[in-house]
Amino acid sequence: MALAAPASANGAPLVSVQHLVKHFPIRGGILYRTVGEVHAVDDVSLDIRTGETLGLVGESGCGKTTTGRVILRLIPATEGKVLFQGKDVFAVRGDALKQLRRDMQIIFQDPYSSLDPRMPIGDIIAEGLVVHGIGSRAERDDAVREMMSLVGLRPQYARRYPHEFSGGQRQRIGIARALILRPKFVICDEPVSALDVSIQSQILNLLRDLQQQFGLTYLFIAHNLAVVRYISDRIGVMYLGKLVELAETDELFRRPLHPYTQALLSAIPTPDPTLKRKRIVLTGDVPSPIKPPAGCRFHTRCPIAMEICRHTEPVFRDVGGGHMVACHAV
């Protein structure tokens, strides 16, 4: 069973996220009623082009992972729409949804807890093929061995269990499991954050090689800006459930416009101790997502906040060349 690159459409974006909202209810009291909501994702809109890697960065708790999981319908959206090749992801049911799940896969952050410790890795990788009824047992075994070779694992290890592998090897197993169905779109949810630095580079290079080989489109979620810069074509920056900036990678690092993006970039360590760079230190804590501030959500920590920022939410707009930003000062 040959593993071929998926066909991809040109022109329209592969994935279009439109005004996505996800609020988690907070329940309490004797009757366990809803007493509040966590505003995890609030009105996020972005397009992911066929064959590109879109990086999504921000502080822990900003809504990056929730955005990815809502896109895949792993958790239900509160509002908004996600289009995959023009189809409404939230509207499909039954066999159409099952087919859609073949085309949209995820690589999880934790290579330890994301694998069933009671299953041999060959069965873990082949599980998607079994669920979708693809191929005979012999064809599935051939596909598993081929995919294991492609991700840098020895095929003879197929009957071993996850505990017999290192963290980097387990993440390769997770990658093989995601790609065995030949998806078009893969969400990489911080796939290298739990790995040593030397192993991180190996996994990143593997992801890039597989992207070229199979024509994959990635949404790469991470908090390490150096990692995102290496692998991404464009980068979106999130803060407290909202996108605050989105631009081509080189453009974002050369000309960051939002004060939050500028602060994030200033925190990247430089290997040259003689190179002096202005460090932007943000004061205060991140506001609670249960009751986010009015106006611009960043104004409570912003070094250039104006009066308008306190009561009027900035529009996420194009300031030229596809560079999107939500800031009154730009």
In the prediction, which pLDDT does 8 show?
A: 41
Cα–Cα distance, 55 to 125 (Å, whole number) = 26
Judged against a pLDDT cut of 60, whether residue 174 lies above it is answered with: yes
Helix (H) / strand (E) element for 43: namely strand 33-48
Average pLDDT for the chain: 92
Residue 86 region, left (φ>0) first, then alpha (ψ -120 to 50), else beta? left
| 304 lies in some domain | yes
What is the three-state SS of 38-76?
EEEEEEEEEEECCCCEEEEECCCCCCHHHHHHHHCCCCC
pLDDT in tens, 53-95: 999 999 988 999 999 999 999 999 999 999 999 999 999 999 9
| Residue-level pLDDT at 30 | 85
pTM over 0.85: yes
Give a yes or no: residue 289 inside a domain.
yes
With respect to residue 1, please indicate whether it lies within any of the assigned structural domains: no
The pLDDT score that the predictor gives to residue 9 is: 39
Residue 48 lies in a domain: no
Res 4: pLDDT: 42
Is 303 among the domain residues? yes
Distance CA 217, CA 137 (A): 29
Instruction: Please count the structural domains in the chain.
Output: 1
Range of 305's domain? 257-330
The answer to whether residue 327 sits within a structural domain is: yes
Residue 175 confidence (pLDDT) above 80: yes
Asked if the structure places residue 248 within a domain, the reply is no
Within a domain: 297: yes
